[in-house]
Amino acid sequence: MAFPEKDNRLCPIPLSNHNFEEIKLAADILAQEGLQLSAVQNHYSLLYRSLEEAGIIEYCNANDLIFFSYMVLEQGALTGKYNTKHPFKAGTRRGNAFDEKVLAELEDLIGVMREISLRHHVEPAEIAIAWAIAKGTVPIIGVTKPSHIASAVSAMDVQLSDAEIEELERSAKSTGVEIRGAWEKSMI
């Protein structure tokens, strides 16, 4: 029995959690087989931008690759719902990653997000999502309530100015907080 010839354009090949060198290597290997890398999915947020610094976002944009960003809200830490007075449950993965010390370090960033969210008539979570969209990514949002869907939809309509993006990034960088999952390797 002979198999019909495949149309390789209909065979999307995505990657997840790879650094820049691995992404380029995978794209080269796939190209040798007549296939094309279609998408990259990695952790990317205001607090975790090393893949941007490594050139992954620029590479994806230059090569028409969809970039799916996950943990855009950093497990809820960038929603504005958690702070030192309302921390995550202790002993949980989120509680360990974003303990009271880290939440205190995020206060100024959350304040900037609140200011910008008021200008756009949305919540701080929507600013984090809108930032990821403005950076040319497709955010993957963990949805546990219908309101999370409405929030993600609202974020799609937020048009952040260049000045707002710079303000968010400067504020995020000044926190000194970079949370990387145990499964994640260095992107640089």
Q: How many CB atoms lie within 10 A of CB 158?
A: 20
The whole-number pLDDT of residue 148 equals: 83
Q: Which two tokens stand for residue 149?
A: 């869907």
Class of domain 12-175: alpha beta
Tell me the per-residue pLDDT of 89-146, one tens digit each, with 9 for 90 and over: 999 989 999 999 999 999 999 999 999 999 999 999 999 999 999 999 999 998 888 8
**Nearest by Cα to 15 from 67, 57, 59:** 67
Q: Find tokens 């087989």 and name the residue.
A: 33
The whole-number pLDDT of residue 95 equals: 92
The whole-number pLDDT of residue 6 equals: 54
Between residues 154 and 5, the one the model is more confident about: 154
The model carries a pTM of 0.89
The whole-number pLDDT of residue 11 equals: 67
The whole-number pLDDT of residue 150 equals: 87
The whole-number pLDDT of residue 2 equals: 45
Q: What value does the mean pLDDT take over residues 151-159? A: 92
Cβ-proximal residues to 129 (8 Å cutoff; 6+ apart), any chain = 72, 73, 139, 141, 151, 152, 155, 158
The whole-number pLDDT of residue 4 equals: 47
The whole-number pLDDT of residue 3 equals: 41
Cα atoms in the Cβ-side hemisphere of radius 13 Å centred on 10: 3
Q: Which two tokens stand for residue 31?
A: 């190209």
CA 41, 89, 171 angle in degrees (round to 5)?
A: 55
**Is the distance from CB of 128 to CB of 152 less than 8 angstroms?**
no
Answer whether residue 1 shows pLDDT above 60.
no
Distance from C-alpha of 153 to C-alpha of 96, rounded to nearest angstrom: 30
Q: What value does the mean pLDDT take over residues 19-32? A: 93
Answer whether residue 5 shows pLDDT above 80.
no
Tell me the per-residue pLDDT of 47-95, one tens digit each, with 9 for 90 and over: 999 988 899 999 999 999 999 999 999 999 999 999 999 999 999 989 9
The whole-number pLDDT of residue 113 equals: 98
Answer whether residue 18 shows pLDDT above 50.
yes
CA 6, 15, 153 angle in degrees (round to 5)?
A: 105
For the sheet containing 13-16, what is the strand order?
13-16, 37-43, 66-70, 138-140
E-state strands within 29-161? 37-43, 66-70, 138-140
Answer whether residue 46 shows pLDDT above 70.
yes
